[in-house]
Structure 1
Amino acid sequence: MELLAKIAFVVYTLLVLGGGCLAVGAHSLVRAMVGLITSLLGVAGMYLLMAAPFMAFMQILIYVGAVCVLIFFAIMLSKADEHGIESGSRRPGKALLSALAFISPAFVIGWVVVNYQPESINLPVEVPLAVLGKGLLDNYSLAFELISVVLLAAMAGAVLLAFEKKGRAAE
C-alpha cells in the first residue's frame, strides 16, 4: 500500500510540474490553459493522497470547473492570432532565466527538507464537514459573497471589452 502511495505521489507531482511547465512555456493561450488544468488536477490528486477528499472535490469544482472556464471564456473573447502565438518571439536568454526560476525553489526547498527534518509529524485532527462548513459560513460569509461579485465583474468586463473591440472592427 505504501508503494502505491509513493507511485501516486510521483504521478501527481509529474502532473503538477508538467502542467506548470506547459502553462508557463506554451505559446498558445489554449495550450497554457490545458497546462493549468493539468496542474490543478495534480493538486487535487495530492489532496486525495492527504486523505482530504472534500478539498480535492472543491479543487476540481472551483478551480478546474469555475475558474478555468472563466479564463477560457476570456481567451475566447480576446482577439488572438489565428496561429495561436500570442506571446510573440522569444529571446534566447529568457528560456534560461525561466528555467533557473523554475528549478531554484525546488533546490532551496529540497535543501531545507534534507537539513532541517522535523522531530515528529503529528497527524492532524479530522474536522467534520458540518463543523468546517459552519465555521466558513459563519465567519467568512462576506468573503464568499465578494468572490462571486469579483468573478461576475471580471466576466462582465471581458464581455464588454469583447463587444467594444468587435464594434470597432466592424467600423
Structure 2
Amino acid sequence: MTDAFVRHARPEDLDRVAELAAEHAAYEKAAPPPPDLAVRLRRLLFGPAAPRLRCLVAELPDTTLAGYATCAPELSTWSATEYLHMDCLYLTERSRGHGLGPLLVAAVRAEARSLGLTEVQWQTPVWNDGAIRFYDRLGATSKEKRRYSLAVD
C-alpha cells in the first residue's frame, strides 16, 4: 500500500465516506450515522457555508478509499486560541498497519498549518488500545476526560 496517498474528499467520494463512517461507528459500538449522511456531509464540505468541515481520504492505487479523517477548526477558552479538532480518523481493518494512518495524520497536520493553526486535538475511546498505541507512537499526548452530549430539545 506504499503507493496509497491522501487527498481532500471530492463530492463523488461521499457515498464511500458515509460507508466508512458507518463502519467506524460500528467499530466504536456507537449508533449508526443517519441514512442521509452523504447528503449532510455534502452540505458541510461543499455547500454555501462550506467548508465547515474538512475531509481527507486515503486512496489506494486501485482508487479504493480505505479510510478517512475529518477535522474542523475549534476554539480553546483556556488558551484563547484556535486549534484543529480531528473528529474522525478511520481505516478499514485490512488497511491498518500499512502506513496509511501516519499519512492521514500528516495530512490533518498540514491542514492545520494551512489554516494557521498550531495544534490538532482529538479523542479516542479508552478501550481502543490499537489507536492509543498508534497515537503514542506518533508522539501525541493525552488527557483523561469524558465526552458528554446533551440534546437541545
- TM above 0.5, yes or no, is no
Q: TM-score range by the shorter chain?
A: under 0.3
In the superposition, the TM-score normalised over structure 2's length comes to 0.27
**Larger strand percent:** 2
In our comparison, the structure showing a higher alpha carbon Rg is: 1
The TM-score normalised by the length of structure 1 is 0.25
